[in-house]
A and B are shown apart, each in its own frame.
Chain A
Amino acid sequence: MDMTGEQLIPAPREVVWNALNDITVLKDCIPGCTFLEKQEDGSLAAKSVLRIGPIKASFSGKVTFSNIIPMEGYSIVGEGQGGVAGFAKGGADVHLRDAEGGTMLVYTAKADIGGKLAQLGSRLIDSTSKKLAGEFFERFASEVVSKAAVPA
């Protein structure tokens, strides 16, 4: 599954960048995320409940950040295991640039799924991913906007 997109966030770049690195914000915005915690090595441990078509499963995994350029963007790579429900792994490149009305967040994402998730959910993975991405950005935008409104 490959996905690219961009989303205008009505907030200054610094606010968006900080939110992208704020674990509480991410946890609240990632659909189904029940646990997100920074590890000693800088990676994030994550737990998330995902529903794709007929499968609902709890995935636990690890997300690592790389190519971090402050205020510009980063790459994330993650892998989640859902036991017999299968697994998902993937990554995304996220870039920020100034835009009229705020900050443009540009992303390209790639994900591979396996096991039961692939066997029963492959038809639905594109639409589900788009839906999840949509939900994430909707929440992220509103989080960021509310943060921007409150002076730090």
Chain B
Amino acid sequence: MQLKNSRYVGQPLPRVEDFRLLTGNGTFVDDCHRPNMACAVIVRSPVAHGRLLAIDATAAQELHGVLAVLSANDLGLEIPRIPFRIAAFEEATPFQQPVIAKDRVRYVGEPVAVIIAESQAVAEDAAELIQIEIDELAPIASSRDSLRAQAPMHEDLGSNIAFQYTIDRGDAAGVFSRAPYKRKETFYVQRHTAVPMEMRGLVAEWNESKGHMSVWGAAKVPFFNRHVLAGMLGLPDKSVDLIELDVGGGFGVRGEFYPEDFLIPFAARHLQRPIKWSEDRREHLMATNHSREFECELEVACDAQGKVLGLRGQVIADLGAYVGTTGGILASRAAQFMPGPYDISALSIDVLSLATNKTPSGSYRGPGRFESSFARERLFDIAARDLGIDPISFRLRNLLRPDQLPYSTGNLVPYEQDASYDLGDHPTVLRRCASEIGWEQKAALRGREVDGRYHGIGFGSFIDSSGAGPKENCRIRLEPNGRISVFIGSSALGQGIETGFSQICADALEVPIESVSIHHGSTTLLDEGFGSFHSRSIIMGGNAIADAAEKLISLLKAEAASLFECNADNIQYRNGIFVTAAKDPIALADLARVLPKTAEADGTFGTKRKPYGYGTHAAHVAVDIRTGHVEVIEYVAVEDVGKMINPLLVHGQKIGAIVQGLGGVFLEQLSYDDNAQFLTGSLADYLLPTSTDYPNIRAISLDLTRTDRNPMGVKGVGEDAIAPVAAVIGNAIADALSSFGVQPTRLPLTPCAVWQLMEQSKESEAH
């Protein structure tokens, strides 16, 4: 249903979650304690590749307080493998991860044993006593090595290629053979990842008499993970519950099914004890999904006026040792979004996903979008410069016009249907961004040195889908005390869904927002639900709430009708009050008290029609060429987000995504040495942006066009603002250093990397 009342929807209400969280009253998984609970520590492989010969746990088992040391042999003959949740490329199935290493280890951090002890301290001490005998094999430390390697990492398979395919649109070969201008560059995005503030953790408890497993610490997709876990434990779905507590950030990595999501419940049932496992930061950095590592050769063909005729190239994603729940998402999304928001008739991209002896990679906020935007937008600026066209004019010449939308992209992902971009006005958003950053006023500053620093302005445009996956379900109950309880499958990862859902429900039921409680994300709440990813919660969950509310109102009208002794059609429902001509009106809360039984209604929503958000970002940077340090003087994001449930939530997501993106541009890198040893095991080695690093970000969220792809007309807004960040900064640095011909093509742009680019430009000048 479309919301008629908008007393709350559209208002910048402060988050209802915040009081609880900011006053220290949140309950995170580490706050969860069960009677007689034991602690688990995972023993992980210290080498990247080898034959696992023996695990000697004798000394560990003798330690007082150690309950068990479990390894592959304790799990039975068949070690479960973690299935795909999305982006399921059949041919990559042999690359799925076993929940524990049996004969081979394939990355530093792969689980080889689980120690369960009376306390965390004893379990950690016991881990130091485990002797692992590994016959080392040559490690594959990069995607280049992966292609060249003589012996495949997965010994039964012919190669390290998890999957490959080509996407085509139009006649790329023909276009490139005739084009008057072509330019090819190679781009690289470093391995980095989400790093939520709260690390992963689980508490599992087995109830032997009921044959029931409860797991606290669920996140993201609890219903899917429940199904996977139940299957691995040989239980029906209803005998397993995954319970969501407060979650300190997800960003894609937290809440996917990992080896521990099986190992801890398995151990709890095996030992008949509740068991807690809490990841520490070093463990998190090597055991939670990595992401982003991507190499791309991209070539653009243009006419002399800068009209892009074609785009072709190759995308290589470095997957790490196994293909996890998010399947082939990194490479496939990078290829799918390579053409971006532009009218490009000819396209040909070879897509390759390769295994290496590194931590498995998965989805992280804006998977493939961040990477592909960096390659495309950088290449476009390089081409524009070659052709003597400014970056704004170049983009305006190529952006899709409003009259071309919706725009069919054709089939750019093999396992999906054809996609189509949503309505929008890309040129208007670009022009607004140019005016906000002061493109004309600052023209004289571009490439100029002021007090030893060179100034530059860069732009990046993007488009992104939202709202993927199966339907979401919801139940709304009118409690006997008149309060409203909403039970929903969507899960909270810090994005503020309790607030957004409260606004939607309060408006849909025309009740005060204070009377609404949102219960989310646990399998105990509903028979079937799904969860949150791909900015889908407001789209799927929000529309499901509106659906349930509509059904609840008609159910209550029927109840009121029997009370009024009239026909339900003669009852009006307005502002929480049932009104009919002949009788006194009755308020919702009063009706609740006299109902024979508690009234509740189920709602659902699902769609395959994804809405698309889009926008243009710009940055003004100053580059110190002596140190390579880049200051972001100003960063402006202008996006057409359409209808906003809560502009404050939208704004928070935009700023957060941009800061997270800037971390990926300047600071964050998961490093490995040539032996595929992991080198960045602490936050002193892996640098994250902090609140003081990028103070000058403005996010302008416009309501220019609305989607018609769901009844409420909402798009996802949480994820996408990260997409253009690397492109924007790369372009701004290139603009600042244009007199030196510096063109950043590799991330991260650390001071050292920028300084080296300057040195290289001096060298090439000298030759």
Contacts and interface: CB of A to CB of B under 8 A. Distances in A.
Given A83-B129, A84-B130, A86-B46, A118 B682 contact: no
Nearest to A114: B677
A113 interface: yes
Contacts of A119: 108, 282, 285-286, 678-682, 685
B677 A113 contact: yes
B684 interface: yes
Interface in B292-350: none
Contacts of A115: 46-47, 108, 677
Interface string A47-78: 00000001000000000000000000000000
B156 interface: no
Nearest to B46: A115
Contacts, number: 57
Contacts of B679: 118-119, 122
B765 interface: no
Q: Which of B130, B285, B678, B681 has the most CB of A within 10 A?
A: B681
A113 B672 CA distance: 11
Interface in B256-275: none
Contacts of B678: 118-119
B685 A83 contact: no
A87 B685 contact: no
A6 interface: no
A122 B108 contact: no
A123 B686 CA distance: 11
A120 interface: yes
A116 interface: yes
Question: At the interface, is chain B mostly helix, strand, loop or mixed?
Answer: loop
B578 to A, nearest CB: 64
B164 interface: no
Given A112-B675, A114-B46, A114-B675, A122 B127 contact: no
B591 to A, nearest CB: 61
B673 interface: yes
B677 A112 contact: yes
B492 to A, nearest CB: 31
Interface string B651-673: 00000000000000000000101
Interface residues of A, number: 16
A14 B43 CA distance: 49
Chain B's interface size range is 20 to 34
B128 interface: yes
Contact of A122 (B130, B285, B671): B671
Interface string A109-131: 00011111011101100000000
A89 to B, nearest CB: 10
Interface string B572-616: 000000000000000000000000000000000000000000000
Q: Which of B129, B285, B671, B677 has the most CB of A within 10 A?
A: B677
Given A84-B130, A122-B679, A116 B47 contact: no
Nearest to B45: A115
A120 B282 contact: yes
A93 to B, nearest CB: 20
Contacts of A86: 46
Contacts of B130: 83-84
A64 to B, nearest CB: 17
A87 B282 contact: no
Nearest to B679: A122
Given A114-B46, A118-B679, A119-B679, A83 B128 contact: yes
Interface in B61-120: 108
Contacts of B673: 112, 118, 122
Contacts of B47: 114-115
Contact of B282 (A83, A113, A114, A116): A116
Nearest to B286: A119
A126 to B, nearest CB: 12
A2 B8 CA distance: 64
Contacts of B680: 119, 122
A116 B127 CA distance: 13
A123 B680 CA distance: 9
B671 A120 contact: no
A54 B43 CA distance: 20
Nearest to A54: B682
A85 B681 CA distance: 12
Q: Which of B47, B127, B679 has the most CB of A within 10 A?
A: B679
B137 to A, nearest CB: 14
Contacts of B285: 119
A83 B130 CA distance: 7
9 contacts: A85-B128, A115-B46, A116-B282, A118-B673, A118-B679, A119-B285, A120-B282, A122-B679, A123-B685
Given A54-B682, A118-B681, A122-B680, 10 more contacts: A83-B130, A114-B108, A116-B46, A116-B282, A118-B108, A118-B677, A119-B286, A119-B682, A120-B681, A122-B677
